[in-house]
Copies of this chain bind each other. A is one copy, B any other.
Amino acid sequence: MDHLLYGAAYYDEYMPYERLDQDIAMMKKAGINVIRIAESTWSTEEPEEGVFDFSHVTRVLEACEAAGISVIVGTPTYAVPAWMAKAYPEVMVMEKSGKRRPYGARQIMDITHPAYLYFAERIIRKLMEAVQGYECVIGFQLDNETKHFGTCSENVQIKFVSYLRKKYNGDLEQLNRDFGLAYWSNRIQSWEEFPSVVGTINGSLGCEFEKFQRQLGTDFLQRQGEIVREYCREGQFITHNFDFAWKGHSYGVQPEVDHFKAVRALDIAGCDIYHPSQELLTGREIAFCGDMTRSLKKDNYLVIETEAQGFPEWTPYEGQLRLQAFSHLASGADSVMYWHWHSIHNACETYWKGILSHDFSENAVYREACRIGREFRDLSDKLLHLKKNNRAAIMVSNEALTALKWFPMPGGEGDYNDVVRWMYDALYDLNIECDFVSTKEEELSRYDMLLVPALYTVDEACLNRLKEYAAQGGYLIASFKTGFTDEKVKVRFDMQPYVLGACFGIQYNQFTKPDGVRLKDDFTEIPEEEKTARVFMELLEVKGAEVLASYDHYAWEKYAAVTKNTYGKGQCIYLGCMTSGEYLKALLKRVWKEIGAYGWKQEVCFPLVIREGVNRTGKRVIYYLNYSRNVMKVTIPFAGEELFTEKAVAAGELLDVNPWDLLIICCES
């Protein structure tokens, strides 16, 4: 790709009347240069078993070819046609209850069932043949937001036992020990008696099954990639739209997919990002999901779906659509693509509105899109392929997420992603950009600071890498729960924190739920009301560490809450409890100063968000994003050019950033 992509999903199949030419014209006017098609439309492409009709696909491709609009073609496999469910009911996914899902929704088939896989491969091959000749096709999307959909039918149980038998080389006694199956008489003596795990109360077994289910999804994408690749031209890419844990919007690490593994099937990482809007628009999800997706291949990525109008409560204020679009670029995205071009007139996403409302006429959002399209075109050379060189990273883990679902915080308050976001959002608010790393990451030393939220299950090798990271001079910051269980989610039977106790200079073997517990420390910059222990608290005993905060409660006052320790050439902070975001920010600010990284970006903070990178010509590009309804003043640190106004700015110059607006400074060097 040599230019920024600006686009939308387009469904000719859903149109209530013939609109193709009109839509293409409106897209051209809006500067839309790419559309995504076909990913939901199997029943149109194969209306009867074995009867194919790609006319909706090809007529769109022809129109795009003529108009100079690029196309990403999606395989249609995530929504099965009615005829398949009717003739082969066994393709529907079986839920834990033992019931197959009734036909209707998407994403309810069994991705492991051979009947489904047979039809899926056939439709992909037919589709690939149909679109092969078109120049406008720049890439392919495999399936759509692929997951395992909880598949747990008999065939999956058999596969799972087979997977365990191989993993354990047939040693069932070892498995009984590792998973603690003697408990409540769950011990298994012979592989053939292995019970279905849908009712298991053993979290080790449950977590292993979910890991296995994630692998089913990874394998599925891998196999689709192989099929599609057979048809790819030079220059055509394969991508996929990963999505994220959902709390009414994109929120955190995706529990059902291991993005770091699944991304191997792709040439370019892609994602769907949906976020709150109006007064709740903060840019946090745009940055979080972007940083995550960029980290998967350590490269630029595609935003394949994001909201135009979205839900009624997301209807953007003036300026917000544009602020969002450039925020994606500021994280390293090379595309901004909306879901979707037009609002749909039937079914369950009628109120998930596209650029156009149901009346297809120009509206406020379309008019703002026109401006964005123009600016993308004009600034493409300067903004494409923004590269980051972040000094901070956060280590995340699907396994820890799942394990903390099985072993939740007391009272169920606060999950893994809440801890992740507690750390991420603190960095975001301080204008400290970061990468994400998996627990397999070998090159931790690239980072000055590494944050490890609630890494509840982790193997010894990773703990040793963390230890080594600190020993070699890294700044390691970990939270409660880290290292508590091994990779089988068996609680370590040595003193906690396992392996890392030495780094942090602490130990503990008691913990509780904070109830009216405050923190006692010398952080005068933090208001007293922010000084509370939250969610979970470990009763830390120091073994050499410095106590940054202790618990302010008559029963727990002898225990430490937050500690700091020198280990080798590095520093190690341990957070024995969750704190407020303000508290964590104050702590991280100190760390950032200690590292010597504190600078002009930290002189301001959210809602004035600063993100930056280096463009293809080696120029430093700085985004000033105003996530508020007030005018914000910023002092430009380096001489350069403000890209929208094309005006030169001097170092030290004071500029206004308007409400829900932004500046981009392209520095001279």
**A19 closest partner in B (C-beta):** B493
Q: Does A645 contact B (CB under 8 A)?
A: no
Q: Which residue of B lies closest to A357 (CB)?
A: B509
CB pair B510 A309 closer than 8 Å: yes
Are B187 and A103 in contact, with the CB atoms below 8 A?
no
Instruction: Given A16-B493, A202-B348, decide whether A510 and B364 contact each other with a Cβ distance below 8 A.
Output: yes
Query: B199 contacts A102, CB within 8 Å?
Result: yes
- Contact check: which of B43, B47, B194 meets A82 at CB < 8 Å? B194
Residues in B with CB closer than 8 Å to A41 are: 182, 185
Contact B43 A186, beta carbon cutoff 8 Å: yes
Q: Which of A178-217 contact B (CB under 8 A)?
A: 179-190, 193-204
Stretch in contact with the other chain, from A58-66, A313-321, A378-386, A633-641: A313-321
| Contact assessment for A278 and B512 in the assembled complex, using a CB-CB cutoff below 8 Å | yes
Are B86 and A195 in contact (CB-based, < 8 A)? yes
Closest to A178 in B: B346
Binary per-residue interface labels of chain A (46-72) against chain B in the complex, 1 for a CB within 8 Å, 0 otherwise: 011000000000000000000000000
**Chain B CB within 8 A of A233 CB:** no
Which residues from B are CB-within-8-Å of A605? Answer: none
Q: How far is the CA of A398 from the CA of B194 in the complex (A)?
A: 40
A512 and B312 alpha carbons, distance in the complex (Å): 4
Q: Does A226 interact with chain B (Cβ within 8 Å)?
A: no
Give Cα A591 to B394, complex, Å. Answer: 63
Chain B neighbourhood of A40, CB < 8 A: 183-185
The answer for the CA separation of A43 and B629 in the assembled complex, in Å, is: 65
The verdict on A350 contacting chain B, using a C-beta distance below 8 Å, is yes
A80, A183, A187: residue with the most chain B Cβ atoms closer than 10 Å: A183
Option from B104, B360, B361, B496 in Cβ contact (under 8 Å) with A199:
B104
Contacts of A360 in B (CB 8 A): 493
Q: With a CB–CB cut-off of 8 A, which chain B residues contact A44?
A: 182, 185, 187
Interface size class of A (residues with CB under 8 A): 35 or more
Task: Decide: A196 near B103, CB < 8 A? Known: A44-B185, A512-B312.
Answer: yes
Smallest Cβ-Cβ distance to A309: which chain B residue: B510
Q: Are B347 and A203 in contact (CB under 8 A)?
A: yes
A98 to B550: give the CA distance in the assembly, Å: 53
Interface bits A304-316 vs B (CB < 8 Å: 1, else 0):
0000010111110
Contact check, A346 vs B204: say whether CB atoms are below 8 A apart.
yes
Are B193's CB and A86's CB within 8 A? yes
Residue of B with least CB distance to A356: B509
Measured between alpha carbons, how far is A107 from B490 in the docked complex, in Å? 24
Chain B residues within an 8 Å CB radius of A85: 195
| Known pairs A312-B536, A511-B315; A346 contacts B82 (CB<8 A) | no
Report which of B14, B86, B313, B347 forms a contact with A515, defined as CB distance below 8 A: B313
Complex CA gap A359/B201 in Å reads 22
A197 closest partner in B (C-beta): B104
A154 at the interface (CB under 8 A from B): no
Query: A471 interface residue, CB < 8 Å from B?
Result: no
On whether A496 and B359 interact (CB within 8 A), knowing A344-B183, A410-B351, the answer reads: yes
Bound complex: CA A184 to CA B108 (Å): 11
Given the complex, which residues of B lie within 8 Å of A309, measured CB to CB? 510
Interface SS majority for chain A: loop
Contact between chains at B345 and A104 (CB < 8 Å): no
Contact A351 B512 (CB under 8 A): no
| Beta-carbon contacts under 8 Å, A139-190 to B | 177, 179-190
Which of A42, A102, A181, A349 lies at the interface centre, i.e. has the most chain B CB atoms within 10 A of its CB? A102
The residue of chain B having its C-beta at the shortest distance from the C-beta of A511 within the complex is B312
Complex CA–CA separation, A17 to B180 (angstroms): 12
- Contact partner of A555 (CB less than 8 A), chosen from B17, B317, B346, is B317
Which residue from chain B places its CB closest to the CB of A495 in the assembled complex?
A: B359
Residues on B with C-beta less than 8 A from A407 are: 350-351
Contact of A442 with B by CB under 8 A: no
Contacting residues, chain B, for A493 (C-beta < 8 A): 16-17, 345, 358-360
The interface residues of chain B lying within 8 Å CB-to-CB of A32 are: none
Closest chain B residue, CB of each to CB of A77:
B185
A180-B347, A194-B82, A195-B82 known; A509 vs B186 contact (CB < 8 Å) = no
A345 touches B185 (CB 8 A): no
Asked whether any CB of chain B lies closer than 8 Å to the CB of A494, the reply is yes
The yes or no answer to A76 lying at the interface (CB within 8 A) is yes
Q: Taking each of A185, A194, A196, A629, which has the highest tally of chain B beta carbons within 10 Å of its own beta carbon? A: A185
Residues of B within 8 Å of A194, CB to CB, are 82
Are the CB atoms of A491 and B346 closer together than 8 Å? Answer: yes
Q: In whole angstroms, what is the CA distance A313 to B103 when docked?
A: 44
Evaluate contact between A83 and B193: CB separation under 8 angstroms: yes
Chain B residues positioned under 8 Å from A202 (CB to CB):
104, 346-348
Contact B76 A185 (CB under 8 A): yes
Q: Which of B180, B314, B359 contacts A14 (CB 8 A)?
A: B180
Chain B residues near A76 (CB-CB < 8 A) = 185
Within 8 A of B (CB), among A453-512: 488-496, 509-512
Q: Does A97 contact B (CB under 8 A)?
A: yes
Residue of A200, A343, A536 most packed against chain B (CB within 10 A) = A200
Question: Can you name 28 A-B residue pairings with CB atoms under 8 Å?
Answer: A11-B182, A14-B180, A16-B180, A17-B493, A41-B185, A43-B185, A44-B182, A79-B184, A82-B186, A82-B195, A83-B190, A97-B99, A104-B202, A105-B199, A180-B346, A183-B349, A186-B347, A201-B347, A203-B347, A278-B515, A279-B515, A315-B512, A351-B410, A357-B509, A358-B492, A359-B493, A359-B494, A359-B509
Q: With A104-B199, A313-B513, A346-B491 given, can you name 12 additional A-B contacts, CB distance below 8 Å?
A: A40-B183, A81-B187, A98-B102, A102-B196, A202-B348, A313-B410, A313-B515, A315-B511, A345-B490, A361-B509, A364-B510, A365-B510
